[in-house]
Structure 1
Amino acid sequence: MRNMKTSARVVGGLFVTATAAGIVSAVLLESTDQATSAGAVLVLIMAVAIAMIPPTLFPILKEHNEALALGYVVARTLEVVLVLPATVGPLMTLAGAPADIVRIVTGTYDLWGHPGSMVFFCLSAAILNVLLFRSGLVPRWISGWALIAVVPYLADAGLVMSGALTPFSAIHSVLVIPLALNEMVLAGWLLTRGFTTAGAGHMRR
């Protein structure tokens, strides 16, 4: 049980780190060249934090459903693969690449890479919270909230891909906030309470 509590705290900390780095990087990437380079570093920090979550959770999740646990690992890995190109445009700018080429690279990422990573984030969130809901590792109101909040988040990704929304518009924020807030509530629960003992004891037979 001590290992479960430690894992819960590590995962909670990683969720907070990934979210904080993601929010600050989004602001910095729209700023000056110096701030843009800092934003690129924060994207890398976010990607590393995201990448560390699945291997930390997998030993716990696989005891409830190994196939879904593997699906979670795959979905989060693909999310990281699609997040990393966000650093390419800023690094090209720092390297002195022509502005037109940088705009093309950045625009392509904003149109396809960013919403693509959102799709795999939604898939991973759905898989994780189905597992959490079934197992009772956290209160079901948290995992149930996440499963509902995935819907507008996924809709936002589709709208961005279709060009109906820009990635940082007001409507975009409204659609993604419910799931983003839920993730922070989950992180807070894991940091302070850990996994529910009853759920932790309900292992797959």
Structure 2
Amino acid sequence: MESYRKTGIIVGLLFIIATVTAIITIVFLGSTLEMPLDFNLISENEFQLVISVLFWIILAVSVMGIGAMMYPILKKYHEGLAAGYVVLRLTESILIIIASISILSLLSLSQEYLAGTLDVSYYQSLASMLLALQNWSFEIGTLIFLGLGGLFLYYPLYELRFVPRWLSGWGIIGAICVLLYGLLSLFGVADSMIVTLLAAPIAIQEMVFAVWLIFKGFNTEEIKLNS
């Protein structure tokens, strides 16, 4: 059972790293990549954008790590569901990396624009496409796949009682809220108030879940019963 204790600590730390890096990225990006694009501002904020990309890569690795570490735990409920969770987290990570590459491409494009090597209209069209790719990749990755991944994670934990049911039940509700947020974003009807209301449950729950895993761990008695 000692291995499950270590798994709990590692997963808890990865959840914290993922949350912190996501917040730092949002702070560093600020309003640099908002429409209408300010090409001079993008070039001037090169350092912030590169730092954001680095933190996004850390986020992607953390998300993949969570999927890999949780596989042996979730497999006790259903091997196919456990594999599905890993695939969802891997897909989320890939989309985050695509968003990161889009930012770097946009930065390179802005530097070429300032050097006067590209036609203005061509640059603006390409920049808008890259920004759209970044937005959709990150939104789909962090909303749709995060929400689905949450359901694949917390439902087995709820059924098996590997963590308290109030905590896993909270996670299920949070995952549903994120999925709803993602669907609203796809149709362009999510305003700032809706975003806050739908994102808050899972954001808070993941931190509580992480702290619980670090200090309490999984319910080893229930794990024994399901071994």
Structure 1 segment 79-118 matched on structure 2, within 5 A: 79-95=92-108, 96-98=111-113, 100=124, 101-110=126-135, 112-117=136-141, 118=143
Distance (Å, rounded) in 2 between the aligned partners of 1:59 and 1:165: 36
In structure 2, distance between residues paired with 1:8 and 1:131: 16
1:143 aligns with 168
Distance 2:160 2:193 in 1: 36
Counting aligned pairs with the same residue, the percent is: 30
The aligned residue for residue 226 of structure 2 is 203
Map 1:1-205 onto structure 2 (within 5 A): 1-30=1-30, 31=32, 32-95=45-108, 96-98=111-113, 100=124, 101-110=126-135, 112-117=136-141, 118-165=143-190, 169-203=192-226
Q: Is the 8 A contact 1:129 1:144 kept in 2?
A: yes
Separation in structure 2 between the aligned mates of residue 51 and residue 23 of structure 1, nearest angstrom: 18
Letter in 2 for 1:25: T
Any conservation in 2 of the 1:132–1:138 contact (CA below 8 Å)?
A: yes
Q: CA deviation at 1:146?
A: 1.1
Q: Which runs of 5+ in 2 are unaligned?
A: 33-44, 114-122
**CA RMSD after TM alignment:** 1.6
Q: How many residues align?
A: 201
CA separation in 1, counterparts of 2:133 and 2:102? 10
Q: With structure 2 as the length reference, what TM-score do the two structures score?
A: 0.83
Give the drift of 1:50: 0.4
Q: TM-score, normalised by structure 1?
A: 0.91
User: Within 2, Cα distance between the matches of 1:83 and 1:200?
Assistant: 33
Superposed CA deviations along residues 53-110 of structure 1, whole A, max 9, x for unmatched, are 1111111221222121111111111111111122123312442254622332112331
2:11/2:69 contact within 8 Å kept: yes
Q: 1:78 to 1:97 in 2, by over 3 A?
A: farther
* Separation (CA, whole Å) in 1 of partners of 2:147 and 2:18: 15
Q: Which segments of 5 or more consecutive residues in structure 1 lack a partner in the other structure?
A: none
